[in-house]
């Protein structure tokens, strides 16, 4: 990548309110070496896509699941349910400084955090997960009745597993 490309990046960053320290930390997170296992926070955040795909495949929040309705309406039905709000708050944790223990902890988001995001934004975010490359990969791991199953590279085990259903 030549200096001209970096000049484009720098000129773009100058037009934003981005602070150099924050951008540097973000780049370190994205491109830095991984040390050790994922934190509990990362595990929870990475699980969100599985919850979304499973819930949308099962049409949670939709009363008549056999009726053919537009997929956006399926998403909207789930977003309107209490189940979605609870799941969103659980999987979108926020940083809280614990002054007594002198460390940063992650706590569940509250209803007010949920309401800061518009309903249309929730719908777009869920649709983005559904159509993303990761979402398509997750959908491949759904059984015909929309339950998750693990495929195995060991043929005998996979056949036995599929015949048990």
pLDDT in tens, 58-75: 888 888 888 899 999 999
Q: What's the pLDDT score for residue 104? A: 67
**Across-strand partners of 104?**
97
**What is the DSSP secondary-structure string of 114-126?**
HHHS-HHHHHHHH
pTM over 0.75? The answer is: no
The mean pLDDT of the chain is 80
Average pLDDT over residues 37-51: 81
Q: What's the pLDDT score for residue 145? A: 67
Q: State how far the Cα of 52 lies from the Cα of 66, in Å rounded to an integer.
A: 20
CB atoms under 10 Å from CB of 123, counted, come to: 17
Helix ranges restricted to H, the chain: 3-14, 20-31, 40-57, 71-79, 82-91, 111-116, 119-131, 133-140, 155-164
Residue 94's alpha-carbon distances to 32, 44, 49, 100, 109, in angstroms, are 23, 12, 18, 18, 6
Q: State how far the Cα of 105 lies from the Cα of 112, in Å rounded to an integer.
A: 19
- Summarize pLDDT for 99-132 with one digit per residue, the tens: 776 666 777 778 888 889 999 999 999 999 999 9
Residue 35's alpha-carbon distances to 24, 29, 39, 132, 154, in angstroms, are 18, 11, 10, 27, 31
Q: What's the pLDDT score for residue 6? A: 86
């Amino acid at each position: 990548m030549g200096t001209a490309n970096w000049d484009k990046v720098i000129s773009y960053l100058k037009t934003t309110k981005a602070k150099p320290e924050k951008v540097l930390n973000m780049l370190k997170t994205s491109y830095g070496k991984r040390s050790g296992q994922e934190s509990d926070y990362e595990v929870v955040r990475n699980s969100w896509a599985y919850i979304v795909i499973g819930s949308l495949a099962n049409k949670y929040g939709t009363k008549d699941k056999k009726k053919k309705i537009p997929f956006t309406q399926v998403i909207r039905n789930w977003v309107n349910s209490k189940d979605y709000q609870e799941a969103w708050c659980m999987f979108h944790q926020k940083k809280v400084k614990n002054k007594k223990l002198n460390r940063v902890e992650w706590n569940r988001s509250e209803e007010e955090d949920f309401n800061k995001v518009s309903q249309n934004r929730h719908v777009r975010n869920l649709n983005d997960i559904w159509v993303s490359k990761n979402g398509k990969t997750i959908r491949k791991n759904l059984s015909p009745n929309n339950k998750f199953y693990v495929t195995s590279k060991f043929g005998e085990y996979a056949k036995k597993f599929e015949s048990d259903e």
